[in-house]
Structure 1
Amino acid sequence: MTTNAFRFLVLGGTGSIGYAFTQELLQHQEHVTLLVRDKQKADNLFGQHPTLHLVEGDAQDGELLKRLGAEATHIFHGVNYPYEQWQNNMERVTQNVTAAAAINKSTIFFPGNIYNFGQIDVITEKTPPKPGTKKGAIRVKLEQMLQGAAEQGKCRVINLRMPDFWGPNVMNEGIAPIFKGALAGKPMPWLIRNDIPHQLVYTPDAARVFYRLAKLTPQEPYAVYNFAGEVVPSIKQWQAQIAAAAGTPPKYRLYPGWLFKLMGLFSPSMREISEMGYLWQNTILLNDDKLRQALPDLRLTPMKRAIADTLEWFKENVQ
C-alpha cells in the first residue's frame, strides 16, 4: 500500500542501510528520489521502477539538496564516508540535510550507532553520551545538530540507533568478506574476539522499522529509538551457520588488535579501525524496549532465512 502524501529523498541509497530502505520503499510503491554519485551503480542495484527517480550528484552540493528537499516529506540521511574522511565531511553534509529538510519541514531519518557511548555494557535512549574516540565525538556532534534543528522547528528527526549491521549489499570490510569467504570455502575474518556475544541488525529489518516509524504519528520533534536486532552467542558460531548455509566447511581468521595498531603507523584507515577496537573486544548491547512499545508486533526475519537471502545476493551480485 502506498501513502500518496509521502515523497522520500534517499541519500546514501547505494550503501548498506540506504539500499535496504530504498528496497522497502519500492516494495510499497512509495515515490523515491535517489541522489547518487554513480548512476550506473544505482541502475545495476535497483533496475527500473515506476516510482524511482535517480538524480546524479553529491550531497555536499547544498543547493542541489535544497532543490530536491523542496519536494520531499522525508529525507533519509544515509550518507557515510570512510572513517578517515569523517572529519568535516559528515558535519557538512548533515548541515546540508537539515537545511534541505527545513524548506518543507520534512522528517529526517538518521541511522544512528553506538559510537557515542564508548565502552559500556547496555545503552538505552536515556544513556548520556560519553564518547571515547574521535569518531564517537563526531557522532555526538551530528546528533546535536539534528536535535537542534528539530527543536527549532525546522524539521522532525527520527534517529534509529543500531549495532553492527549485515545483509544484502552490506559491502564494508567487516561483513562482506564473511559471506564471500563462506561461498568460496575460504576463511571468514573477524577482528580481535569472535568468542563473545555480539549484537547484529539485519538491514531489511532496519528498513522495515524505519518505514513503520514513518507511518506513526510523531510525538516529539526529535525521536530516538534503539533497534537491538539479534544477539548471536558468538561471531564464530554465526559464521559457522553462514558456512553451513553456503555448503562449505567453516574456516576462521581472527585479526588481533595489535595488528591494526602496527598497520596504523603507515595507514590512516587502519589507524581509525584500531581506535574502535573496543567494539570488538567487548559485548555492548542496545536495549530497544521503547521501540518494542511503539511497534509491539515487530518481528525479525528468522536468522536462517536472512543468511540464505544474503548469501544469494552475494552469489548473484559479487564476483
Structure 2
Amino acid sequence: MATDKFRFLVLGGTGSIGYAFTQELLQNQEQVTLLVRNRHKAQKLFGNWPTLQLVEGDAQDGELLKKLGAEATHIFHGVNYPYGKWQGNMERVTQHVIEAAAMSKATIFFPGNIYNFGLIRSITETSPQQPSTRKGQIRVKLEQLLRQAAAQGKCRVINLRLPDFWGPNVLNEGIAPIFRGALTHKPMPWLYRNDIPHQLVYTPDAARAFYELAKLPPQEAYNEYNFAGEVVPSIKAWQAQIAEIAGSKAKYKVYPGWLFKLMGLFSADMREISEMSYLWQNTILLNDDKLRRTLPNIKRTPMQQAIAETLAWHRGVREFRS
C-alpha cells in the first residue's frame, strides 16, 4: 500500500531498472512523476495509472529538474547513456540530479554497478575502489559527487550496487538477444566465456529492494548496499534453462575477444566493450550481507518464475510489433 507521504521523481523510467522500479511504485499506489523524452513510448510501456504523471523533457534540463525536484521526496537516478556518451554527460546529469534533490532535501536512489573495482573476486561495501577502465573511473566520480552532496546536507543518497541485470524491458544487447533467441529458435549469444559462474539480478527484485529501503527510517546521509541477486553456475546453463522454459532447443553463440579488438578499430562502442572484457572473462561477486541484515525479509523471485515472466514480456513485444 502507498505510504501517503512519498512523492517519487523517476529519471530513466523507460530503461531497464527504472522501468522495474516505476512498476513497483505504481503497484504500491505511490505517487510517481516520470520525466521522459518520449511520452508516447512511456504511455505504451506503462498504460494508465491514477498515480502516474508523465512529464516530457530531458534530465539535462537543470531548471526543469529543479522544478520537479522541489515536489519530490525521492529521486530515482536511472539516467544512462551509450558507453560512448558517458564522458561529460553522466557527470553533468548527476550534478543536475543533486541540485534538484537539494530543493527539498530529497533522497537520491542510485543504481550502482561493479565497474568501480576493476578485477576483484568479491566486493563488499568497504572494498577499495580501484577502477581499471575509463568507465570505472567515471562511475567512481559519480559516486564521489553523490557522497559529497550528502555530506554537505544537500540530500540523502541510497546507492544500491547491482550486478548484471535482466528482466522485462531489459533491452541491452547483452541480455535481450538471449530471450529473443530462445523465442525464435535462434542462437543465444554471450561475450567471451559462457562456461563460468556469473552473477545476475532480476530487475523486479532490485526494484523491490529499493522500495523497501525507501520505507526505512532515515539513517546515514549516504548509505551503500550491495544486492547480490543470484549466481548461475554458468551463462550456458542459464541459457539452457531459458530455452527449456521457452519450449525451444538451446543454441549457443560466444563472441570471442579478438572480434571486439578487431571491430574496435572501426567502432568506439566496440573499443569500450573490449576495455571492459574482464567482466565477462572472470567471476566477480557482490556480497550483500549488509542488505540481508537490513532487510531480512527480502526475497528473490524463483528463477523459473522470473524467466517465464521475462519471456512473456518479450512475447508481448513481438506480438505488438507483428
* TM-score, scaled relative to structure 1: 1.00
CA distance in 2, matches of 1:84, 1:120: 25
CA distance in 1, matches of 2:271, 2:315: 32
Identity of aligned residues (%): 76
1:303 and 2:279 correspond: no
CA distance in 2, matches of 1:167, 1:239: 14
Correspondence for 1:270: 270
**What displacement does 1:128 show?**
1.0
CA distance in 1, matches of 2:94, 2:182: 37
CA distance in 2, matches of 1:103, 1:135: 29
Correspondence for 1:230: 230
Any unmatched runs of 5+ in structure 1? none
Map 1:71-110 onto structure 2 (within 5 A). Answer: 71-110=71-110
Correspondence for 1:29: 29
Structure 1's consecutive aligned runs of 4 or more residues displaced over 3 angstroms after TM superposition are: none
CA distance in 2, matches of 1:63, 1:20: 27
1:133 and 2:127 correspond: no
**What displacement does 1:218 show?**
2.4
Q: Secondary structure in 1 aligned to 2:126?
A: coil
CA distance in 2, matches of 1:67, 1:254: 47
Q: Which amino acid aligns with 1:301?
A: T
Correspondence for 2:207: 207
CA distance in 2, matches of 1:6, 1:161: 23
Q: Which amino acid aligns with 1:259?
A: L
**What displacement does 1:299 show?**
0.9
CA distance in 1, matches of 2:98, 2:28: 26
Map 1:52-67 onto structure 2 (within 5 A). Answer: 52-67=52-67
* TM-score, scaled relative to structure 2: 0.99
Correspondence for 2:317: 317
Q: Secondary structure in 2 aligned to 1:104?
A: coil
1:19 and 2:28 correspond: no
Deviations 1:231-278 (CA, angstroms, capped at 9, x unpaired): 000000000000000000000000001100110000011111111000
**What displacement does 1:65 show?**
0.1
Deviations 1:39-94 (CA, angstroms, capped at 9, x unpaired): 11100000010000000000000000000000000000000000000000000000
**What displacement does 1:219 show?**
1.5
Any unmatched runs of 5+ in structure 2? none
CA distance in 1, matches of 2:216, 2:58: 30
> Would you say how many aligned residue pairs link Structure 1 and Structure 2?
319
Deviations 1:204-228 (CA, angstroms, capped at 9, x unpaired): 0000000000000122000000000
